[in-house]
């Protein structure tokens, strides 16, 4: 069982996993951009978990390699995390990429070419609060691929209280999450939380957009059901009205958004298959402009 663990990127997603591992008795080296004495998770209905720091900000200050790296920076920050990966990884290090999108392995592997890289699909709602602590709503759940490296990580995380499924069809699992992320982009454009999907007009638009995304997903090999557009639209309509998403948080705080790995990828993959994306052709430029300007 792997015991030496490092977290790179102590945002909401990373803090959640690191805190659960810490509560289970594991020592987690926390690496980020901002020095802090500790990081804190407050699960709904449970006691807060404080992970002792410090949060390291210089790769030269940590010892490596480690057994497992949890890479939880935004996909837009992979290049900035390269120094951490170089310090922490060797041929025996398993890198778990807790990021959005369906291109995690191809984007991260060049930064740690000797290490096995596995995508981690995050299915939990965690939000960083203004005071810096992270709120976790519900159970921490992840999907990993099948295989020895993934099973090693799954055993580690299950022992910490995470629900982890190892899915041999990681393509379908990844695209299911991507469709969810893509639809959440509507919240960033409207600056509204999930209550907006209770509007019938927004729900109708959501179904049309997801049908467009589904065609691309299937062309890429995902075996998603016909009813996925209704299923995911209902997921957002039935969520708490104040439920947010990381892309909305970035928009509200005027930070660059992951519009390309969550929404732009739909257009890029569609073009490779000769598929039309009329709704994406409107959504993606608006998200890009909201994220990156100018203006």
Active site amino acids: 177
Cα–Cα distance measured from residue 164 to residue 150, given in angstroms and rounded to the nearest whole number = 10
* Cα–Cα distance for residue pair 88/8, rounded to 1 Å: 10
The one-character DSSP state at 230 is H
Q: What are phi and psi of 95, to 5 degrees?
A: -105, 115
- Sole residue written with tokens 């900035």: 80
Coil, strand or helix at 202: helix
Tokens of 144: 């990993």
Collapsing DSSP to helix, strand or coil, 42 comes out as: strand
3-state secondary structure of 271: helix
Q: What angle, 0 to 180 degrees and rounded to 10, lies between the N-to-C axes of helices 228-237 and 200-219?
A: 140
Q: Is 125:43 a contact under the CB 8 Å cutoff?
A: no
Nearest to 184 by CA among 145, 219, 236: 236
Q: CA–CA separation, 65 vs 63, rounded Å? A: 7
* Cβ proximity of 232 and 210 under 8 Å: yes
């Amino acid at each position: 069982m792997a015991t030496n663990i490092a977290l790179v990127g102590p945002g909401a997603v990373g803090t959640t996993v690191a805190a659960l591992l810490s509560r289970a008795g594991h020592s987690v080296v926390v690496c980020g951009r901002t020095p802090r004495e500790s990081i804190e998770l407050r699960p709904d209905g449970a006691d807060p978990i404080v992970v002792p720091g410090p949060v390291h900000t210089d790769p030269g200050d940590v010892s490596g390699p480690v057994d497992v790296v949890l890479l939880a920076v935004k996909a837009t920050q992979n290049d900035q995390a390269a120094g951490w990966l170089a310090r922490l990884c060797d041929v025996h290090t398993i890198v778990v990429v807790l990021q959005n999108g369906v291109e995690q392995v191809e984007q991260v592997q060049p930064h740690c070419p000797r290490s096995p890289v596995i995508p981690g699909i995050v299915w939990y709602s965690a939000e960083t609060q203004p005071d810096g602590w992270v709120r976790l709503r519900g159970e921490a759940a992840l999907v990993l691929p099948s295989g020895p490296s993934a099973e090693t990580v799954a055993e580690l995380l299950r022992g910490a209280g995470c629900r982890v499924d190892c899915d041999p069809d990681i393509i379908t699992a990844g695209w299911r999450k991507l469709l969810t992320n893509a639809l959440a982009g509507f919240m960033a454009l409207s600056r509204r939380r999930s209550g907006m999907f209770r509007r019938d007009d927004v729900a109708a638009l959501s179904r049309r957009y997801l049908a467009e995304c589904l065609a691309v997903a299937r062309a890429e090999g995902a075996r998603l059901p016909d009813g996925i557009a209704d299923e995911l639209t209902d997921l957002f309509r039935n969520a708490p009205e104040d439920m947010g998403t990381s892309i909305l948080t970035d928009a509200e705080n005027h930070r660059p958004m992951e519009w390309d790995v969550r929404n732009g990828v739909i257009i890029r993959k569609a073009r490779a298959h000769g598929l039309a994306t009329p709704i994406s052709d409107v959504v993606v430029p608006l998200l890009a402009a909201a994220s990156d300007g100018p203006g």
